[in-house]
Amino acid sequence: MTAQIIDGKAIAKDVREEVAAGVEELRAKTGKVPGLAVVLVGEDPASQTYVRNKGRAADKCGMFSRQENRPADISQEELDALVDELNADPDIHGILVQLPLPKHLNATEVNDRIRPEKDVDGFHPINVGLLVSGRPCLKPCTPSGVMVMLERSGLTLKGAEAVIVGRSLIVGKPMAQLLTAAHATVTVCHSRTQDLPGVCRRADILVAATGQAEMIKKDWVKPGAAVIDVGISFVERDGKFKQVGDVLYDEVKEVAGWITPNPGGVGPMTIAMLMANTLEAAKNQLGV
């Protein structure tokens, strides 16, 4: 038996349509649409693609979007000043600074400077703290996209054993909070975890977020488990660069009950949830 595919592209399209309807409703009520500013420093090709896709998605949802490109040698002071300007702009409800930033810049400092109400990435310590406290907040896009995929696939989270591989601020940590809030029993693994394959094999829901190409093998997966592949790596195959995830897809799909394709799984969901966050941020700021 092969796994059921969780079609991130299709679920993301549904979410974006729901957001577009919400944008229209907001416009009818207030005369305003959500505004998203995406800041890109430097010319990393992958980041350029992500940022372009985020802007396009915002436009398609009926939002206002603004892309701010800055050279790789921008100073911390100049980048801080740009964040200050966007913080003060009443037409901008969401601010996202694409990561990674060049090494001479302090990403934490930039991030902490974004007004928490405009922090559509959910990385500001205020939002991180609210999430841990179980209070309303803007939540990181990738893990909230994973939650929507799990929920809309009809998977039972209550009482499920969830194993997350990776403990980043962007995915692993918030993923653990969201799954815990949904009543799963959560284990977070990382590079020092002993017997990683054995821990992964306990999972009813396995979320891989390491960035290590195809590290999750067939014998790491409990038969019937839901496997969510967050990683994005590029490997050379037959002279071409191919996107792969953290999961060795062709063999894991033979044992898993559900699996996300990569590409076409978590990636599109991240962008859809960014749209949802931008709408939520705008509604909050406009008092709707």
Least CB distance from residue 100 to ligand GUN, whole Å? Answer: 7
Catalytic residue among 119, 121, 204, 229: 121
Q: What one-character DSSP code corresponds to residue 119?
A: B
The footprint of ligand GUN on this chain (CB under 6 A) covers a number of residues equal to 9
Using the minimum distance from each CB to ligand GUN, give the nearer residue, 142 or 285.
142
82 lines the binding site for ligand GUN (CB under 6 A): no
Using the minimum distance from each CB to ligand GUN, give the nearer residue, 68 or 251.
68
Using the minimum distance from each CB to ligand GUN, give the nearer residue, 260 or 270.
270
Distances (CA, A) of 161 to 28, 55, 78, 179, 218: 44, 37, 46, 10, 18
- Containing H/E element for 64? strand 64-70
Using the minimum distance from each CB to ligand GUN, give the nearer residue, 252 or 270.
270
26 CB-near residues (< 8 Å, 6+ apart): 32, 33, 34, 279, 282, 283, 286, 288
121 lines the binding site for ligand GUN (CB under 6 A): yes
- Active site annotation includes 121: yes
174 vs 144: CA distance, rounded Å: 8
> Binding residue for ligand GUN (CB under 6 A) from 65, 142, 260, 285?
142
Q: Among the residues of the chain, which ranges form H helices?
A: 8-30, 45-60, 76-88, 107-113, 125-132, 141-152, 172-181, 196-200, 249-252, 266-285
176 vs 186: CA distance, rounded Å: 6
Catalytic residue among 98, 173, 204, 285: 98
- Active site annotation includes 98: yes
Catalytic residue among 54, 118, 222, 283: 54
170 lines the binding site for ligand GUN (CB under 6 A): yes
Separation of CA 98 from chain center: 12
37 vs 92: CA distance, rounded Å: 7
- Active site annotation includes 283: no
280 lines the binding site for ligand GUN (CB under 6 A): no
Q: Which residues pair with 186 in a beta bridge?
A: 162
Least CB distance from residue 46 to ligand GUN, whole Å? Answer: 9
163 lines the binding site for ligand GUN (CB under 6 A): no
Stretch that binds ligand GUN, among 94-102, 145-153, 157-165, 210-218 (CB under 6 A): 94-102
273 lines the binding site for ligand GUN (CB under 6 A): no
41 lines the binding site for ligand GUN (CB under 6 A): no
Structure tokens at 30: 């207030």
Q: What one-character DSSP code corresponds to residue 31?
A: S
98 lines the binding site for ligand GUN (CB under 6 A): yes
262 lines the binding site for ligand GUN (CB under 6 A): no
Residues of the shown chain interacting with ligand GUN in the complex, contacts defined by CB under 6 A: 96-99, 121, 141-142, 170, 270
Residues labelled as active-site residues: 54, 98, 121
